[in-house]
Amino acid sequence: MHDSLFASAPAGAITDVPGIEAGHFTDTRRPTGCSVVIAREGAVAGVDVRGAAPGTRETDLLAPGNLVNEVHAIVLAGGSAWGLDAATGAVRWLEEHGVGLDVGVARLPLVPAAVLFDLPVGDARIRPDAAAGYAACAAAATGQPLAEGNVGAGAGAVVGKMFGLQHAMKGGIGTACVRVAGVTVGALVACNAVGDVVDPETGRPLAGARTAAGDALRGTRRALLRGEPPHPLLAGSNTTIGVIATDARLTKVQAQRLAVSGHDGLARSINPVHTMSDGDTLFALATGRADQHPGMMVLATMAAEAVAHATVRAVRAARSLQLPGGLSLPACTDLRRAG
């Protein structure tokens, strides 16, 4: 079975967007971590939450009708709600480096965040904290190429849990960018979906729920439609979170619409997506560095494409994981795909 043209397309990175830095912290004590996307000079921001079980911080301030227009970083983290503490460390790092909203007596960094549930992967008592968020910012400042796969917020990510964790596969974090008419749109996506990650060009599963024998993909959509019952799922135990960034100049309303459009990319690359057990959340950042503006129709198309690319990269870059107790999470490259 040959790969689609989509699968071999250049990936790029969210850091290709002028004004954007990104970095990871990966906890070596168990597979978990956090990732940060930084806009030191501030970026107009928006957010769209589609999953029914989100874990977020500071998303209300991004509503178009609310006062604050720009933020300075976005944090993505494992550790479920505990992982939101990573944003506190990012705030501290940014303040130390003079980044933030000038409120007269200080510079106040504004850092929204979203988390995914990776607690079953290793010791749940180990999760990203403020020190982890601080370290991710320090890593971003080095300017090193952005790693993908089993790092940062994707370190403990798992996909394809519809029929139980024992049939799932390793998820991860991926990045991509798209350029059109002098404007760049990039995405960073940590994929911990309950559904399968699929090739957007063919709809064929790349990673997800495996068959009972464990050596091939089951194809979650087809399995559900032929009547196979899903495994009981804990609400919020699955989530895909990410950041879209562009150098186009956007209003706050337009940034929110860009985040909305990014979910089209998730819908093309994850099936099923936006379920009652997922907390799917996408942020959008606009640095305004580009002189050109191709229009919102083109930007929305670019955002969906970048998100879909980044989601596929998240599983293609992932590597297998063997956990204590015998649980094995193979990677995309380990299995033949369902037809």
Task: Tell me how far apart the alpha carbons of residues 204 and 315 are, in angstroms, rounded to a whole number.
Answer: 14
- 34 closest CA partner among 103, 137, 125, 181: 137
C-alpha to C-alpha distances, 81 to 4, 20, 209, nearest whole angstrom:
37, 26, 25
pLDDT (0 to 100) of residue 3:
44
CB of 300 closer than 8 Å to CB of 308: no
pLDDT (0 to 100) of residue 335:
77
Residue 56 φ/ψ, nearest 5 degrees: -140, 165
Looking at 15, 239, 240, 246, which residue is catalytic?
A: 239
pLDDT (0 to 100) of residue 336:
55
Domains of the chain: 10-334 (3.60.70.12)
Whether 246 is catalytic is no
pLDDT (0 to 100) of residue 339:
39
Per-residue tokens: 305: 């494409």
The beta strand positions in the chain, using DSSP E, are: 21-27, 32-49, 56-57, 70-77, 101-102, 107-108, 113-115, 158-159, 169-170, 172-180, 183-192, 196-198, 205-207, 239-246, 270-271, 281-286, 321-322, 328-329
Burial of 36 (0-12, 13-18, 19+ CB in 10 A): buried
Task: Tell me how far apart the alpha carbons of residues 222 and 202 are, in angstroms, rounded to a whole number.
Answer: 14
pLDDT (0 to 100) of residue 9:
55
- Report DSSP state, residue 216: B
Task: Tell me how far apart the alpha carbons of residues 29 and 53 are, in angstroms, rounded to a whole number.
Answer: 27
Q: How far apart are the first and last CA of the chain?
A: 8
Task: Tell me how far apart the alpha carbons of residues 97 and 90 are, in angstroms, rounded to a whole number.
Answer: 11
- Report DSSP state, residue 336: B
pLDDT tens by residue, the chain, 339 residues: 334 434 445 569 999 999 999 999 999 899 999 999 999 999 999 999 998 889 999 999 999 999 999 999 999 999 999 999 999 999 999 999 999 999 999 999 999 999 999 999 989 999 999 999 999 999 999 989 999 999 999 999 999 999 998 999 999 999 999 999 999 999 999 999 999 999 999 989 999 999 988 888 998 889 899 998 888 777 667 899 999 999 999 999 999 999 999 999 999 999 999 988 888 999 999 999 999 899 999 999 999 999 999 999 999 999 999 887 778 999 998 875 443
Contacting residues for 224 by C-beta, under 8 A, at least 6 apart: 162, 230, 272
Residue 27 φ/ψ, nearest 5 degrees: -80, 120
Contacting residues for 125 by C-beta, under 8 A, at least 6 apart: none
